[in-house]
Structure 1
Amino acid sequence: MNTKATLASIDHSCRQITTELADWRPGIAPVAVVMISLNEAHNMGAVLQNLVGWAQEVFLVDSYSQDDTIDIALCYGVHVVQRRFRGFGDQWSFALEHLPITAPWTMKLDPDERLSDPLKTEIIEVISNTDAEGFFVKIRLFFMEQSLPVRLRLLRLWRTGRASMSDVLVNEHIKVKGSVAELKHDIEHHDSPDLEHWLDKQNRYTTAEAIIAYNDLPLADTPRLLGTVFQRRMWVKQNFNRLPLRYVLLFLYHWLWQGAWRAGWVGYAWARLRSDVKRLREYKRREIEITGRLPVKRFYGPGKPDSRVQNFD
């Protein structure tokens, strides 16, 4: 049986459990993994299978999912709470401040991410003998189920109680008190099961970023051209709209500098879409300026039948 079929069978079995909830069985790593979710049933079984036997604890802050996210998480014994989503920074700050984490280390993980086996081994070895308070991890991107030669460098692991989260709507940033080191191996980021899901997610993200730009809200960190890598990214974000040929340059950055060309057509599509997303963010901000209205959140798809009119099934 292949991996997808195995996970589908596990998830089906989990959904049958209705009387007694399981307890998470502590793994070999003294790490609490924390995730937030909204309708992540398509990822939940795979990410939890990835953590079984490794993580000491797993926590999930759910934003009232309408799919089987909660059923699957509870079946695995995950500690689940629900809370209305107000922004990524706000939701993560709640998680770090209120979850009953007892493990000495905490790790931020998204449901569409998987820890590579070398990374699991490296984390156990490194945290047993380190003075660092946190660690950067390389995030290797997957798109259309293919690995891209593109890696992000994000702070994802820290001593419990030593981190705080920036208060932003999107692109939240972890701040650690003390020295920070870097791990060698990867987290795999499987970005959306299909392009339909990916575009829907980017549509929501760009709306939030357009509102931030329109209201001149603080970014995830102080924009500084000569600051840290993350601060330089914030400087580019703040000044991006002033650059000539900016969308061409952004495509070339992803396509050539980051090496997406090595992934063939999939890499080309990813690089083009990344620049298109940036353009969409700017168009949305300009729309707000022109109309004087913030975007209205809409729900698409069918609702319940209306009893006042004749209904045909």
Structure 2
Amino acid sequence: MSGNIDVLIIAHNEALNLGHCLESLQGWVRKIHVIDSGSTDGTQELARSLGAEVVHHDWEGYARQRNWALNNLEFSAPWTLVLDADELIPEKLREELLAIADQSPSNVAENGYYINRLTWFIGKPIRHCGYFPSYHLRFFKNGLGRYEEREVHEHVELSGPIGRIETPMLHDDRRGLEHYVAKHNRYSTLEARALAREIAEPTKESSALEPAARRRRWAKRNILPRVPSPGLLRFLYMYFFRLGFLDGSTGFHFCRFIASYDDFVAMKLRAIRAGQDPAPSWGGRGGWKSGQLVGDNKSGGSAPIPPQPTQAIPQIASSKSQADSAARQMQPESSPWTFKEKLGRAAWMILGRPLFRATFHNWYGIRRWILRRFGAKIAPGVSIRPSAHIEVPWMIDLREGVTIGDYAILYSLGPITIGERSIISQYAHLCAGTHDYADHTFKLIRTPIHIEQDVWIGADAFVGPGVVVGALAVLGARSSAYKNLATGRIHVGNPARDLKERTLR
């Protein structure tokens, strides 16, 4: 256990999230402070079972809650790490934080660090949409950081040099989409109030405010109140300009969701400027405390979402069993593809593949030309049927005289090389990609397939990753090859077995 890092977490009914957060902190921080504002779902018991020190403090607002803890609790380690209950620290980030904290503070020029954050939405990571990379000042030298007075989306104020850590922490609220929507509805009210105050009484931003956050605030103060549909503008910006479409259907829905959030902020801001409080039941600018409304116009507090119905207290396993459970949890990697590869695959799916499939059945030259435009190595005389499926064209190398039959699949996540005059029959499947089933990130392995000259892969046969098929070999119909196939031999079955020699007349 390191004595160089103390952790601060504020919580309210976070039992579904907090266990994951605390598990990621086990064994390498000095102390974990959980500031609870009256949870009724077992959050406090869960936190104590995982070694955290739990303190109850009535809700004052996000910034004031954290500042109260920083001012009144024991933070004696040289470094302070602030997390939300729905965030966790992966192993690589942990190593980077420890590498900093294990040095003498006087030898570290930076007074704090922005930490990158990867947000998950409906079970998928958001790597574009303007939400990644996303830097937050969460790691700073003891006593130097305090939060600005703001209703929501508050940031740390810190003087001196600030560094950046590119390895992201993970942000994933496991309480479900209904809770996520309700939370952002509340956030939109708090942000509308903050914007109304900041527009009426402009203040200078802290120098520690991350540049991207500074630009977002400027846009919300100067653009959002002046356009008729800020949500539509935000959607177009996120989905097209910030490449949200590369996050697939999840990216589309995430962009829609954040766009609707901006619309809510704009509507509530207009209501406030017209003299109508969008949430009068909160009691001024107050918040929630253990299920009861509190309000104080002087307090400047902010409101989290109302408490959820009381849930059953989760069973708390021993530390060993919880650690074992965490080790067995799958957390698939988000995307192994580079930005350039994503653009290429998107172009192929949107333009290349539809054009390829629209060609007449004997227009082999046109299909060769299309594949070459997308980086494929296609020799003269190659015949590919229009119904063949090419996953990643720049990963295939087809030598002279190769034939690819109807509905054959070249699943070229890794390189696929097919030698001269070889034939891939209809519905055959060449799969140059698999996953490391023993790795909890389910890491993609792109292992090449190499087929030598004069090979015949029969109808509906399967060739797995890493297989080398020797010259003149035959793989019979509906057979499956998981290991190399010998030169000049006929192989059948699942898994394929050597049947006899192939003799050409």
Query: With structure 2 as the length reference, what TM-score do the two structures score?
Result: 0.51
Q: What amino acid is the match of 2:220? A: K
Q: 1:283 to 1:125 in 2, by over 3 A?
A: same
Matched, 1:199 2:181: yes
Give yes or no for the alignment of 1:79 onto 2:57: no
Query: Which secondary structure does the structure 2 equivalent of 1:101 belong to?
Result: coil
Structure 1 distance, partners of 2:57, 2:41, is: 16
Aligned pair 1:137/2:121, yes or no?
no
Comparing 191-200 and 51-60, the one that deviates more: 191-200
8 Å CA contact 1:166, 1:172 repeated in 2 = yes
1:100 aligns to what?
A: 74
CA-to-aligned-CA distance 1:125-147 (integer Å, 9 cap, x gap): 13325221100110011111111
The structural deviation recorded for 1:233 is 2.4
Structure 1 residue runs of 5 or longer lacking an equivalent are: 1-26, 304-313
DSSP 3-state at the match of 1:109? strand
Partner of 1:69: 43
Distance in 1 of aligned mates of 2:125 and 2:308: 33
- Report the counterpart of residue 388 of structure 2 in structure 1: none
Given residue 272 of structure 1, which amino acid in structure 2 is its aligned partner? R
Partner SS for 1:43: helix
Q: Distance in 1 between matches of 2:18 and 2:175?
A: 12
The amino acid of 2:148's aligned partner reads S
Distance in structure 2 (CA, Å) of the matches to 1:152 and 1:219? 25
Indicate whether 1:234 and 2:180 are aligned.
no
Deviates more, 1:168-177 or 1:255-264: 255-264
1:222 counterpart residue number: 205
SS in 2 for 1:51: coil
User: If you compute each CA radius of gyration, which structure gives the higher value, 1 or 2?
Assistant: 2
Residue aligning to 2:20:
46
Query: What residue number does 1:115 align with?
Result: 89
Aligned CA distance change for structure 1 residues 228 and 214 (closer, same or farther; 3 Å): closer
Aligned twin of 2:32:
58
The alpha carbon displacement at 1:68 in A equals 0.6
Normalized per residue, which structure has more helix? 1
Q: Is the 8 A contact 1:172 1:220 kept in 2?
A: no
Aligned counterparts of 2:14 and 2:233: Cα–Cα separation in 1: 34
Q: C-alpha deviations, 1:277-305, integer Å up to 9, x for none?
A: 110112223334456345124869889xx
1:103–1:181: structure 2 CA closer, same or farther, 3 Å change rule?
same
1:251 is matched by which residue type in structure 2? Answer: F
Q: Equivalents in 2 of 1:273, 1:166: separation in Å? A: 27
Query: Are the structure 2 counterparts of residues 61 and 302 from structure 1 closer, same or farther at C-alpha, using a change threshold of 3 Å?
Result: closer
Partner residue, 2:256: 272
Q: Tell me, in whole angstroms, the C-alpha distance in 2 between the residues paired with 1:249 and 1:190.
A: 26
Residues 16 and 174 in structure 2, CA contact (< 8 A), matched pair in contact too: no
SS in 1 for 2:133: strand
In the TM superposition, what is the alpha-carbon distance from 1:252 to its structure 2 partner? 2.1
Aligned partner (choices 237, 260, 268) of residue 253 of structure 1: 237
Equivalent position SS for 2:30: strand
Is 1:172 the counterpart of 2:150 in the alignment? no
Which residue is equivalent to 2:431?
Answer: none
Separation in 1 of the partners of 2:134 and 2:5? Answer: 22
Distance 1:75 1:289, change over 3 A: same
Deviation of residue 66 (structure 1)? 1.6
* Amino acid aligned to 2:189: T
The alignment-based identity, stated in percent, is 27
Change (3 A) 1:145 1:29: farther
2:415 corresponds to which residue?
none
In structure 2, the gaps of 5 or more residues are 283-292, 294-305, 311-505
Q: Which has the higher contact order (CA 8 A, sep 6+)?
A: 1
Q: Any idea what the Cα deviations from partners look like across 1:258-277, whole Å, max 9, x if unmatched?
A: 33222211111001100101
What displacement does 1:165 show? 0.9
TM-score computed with the length of structure 1 as normaliser? 0.80
Distance 2:229 2:276 in 1: 27
Q: One-letter code of the match for 2:119?
A: L
**Partner residue in 2 for 1:153:** 135
Deviation at 1:41, TM superposition (A): 0.8
- The corresponding residue for 2:355 is none
CA distance change for structure 1 residues 82 and 257 in 2, over 3 Å: closer, same or farther?
farther
| Alignment root-mean-square deviation, CA | 2.6
- What residue is the counterpart of 1:292 in the other structure? 276
1:108-167 C-alpha deviation (Å, 9 max, x unpaired): 101100111111111111332522110011001111111111331111100011111101
The amino acid across from 2:56 in the alignment is: Q
Q: CA deviation at 1:205?
A: 0.8
CA contact (8 A) 2:37 2:59 kept: yes
**2:182 is equivalent to residue 208 of structure 1:** no
Preserved CA contact (<8 Å) 2:89 2:170: yes
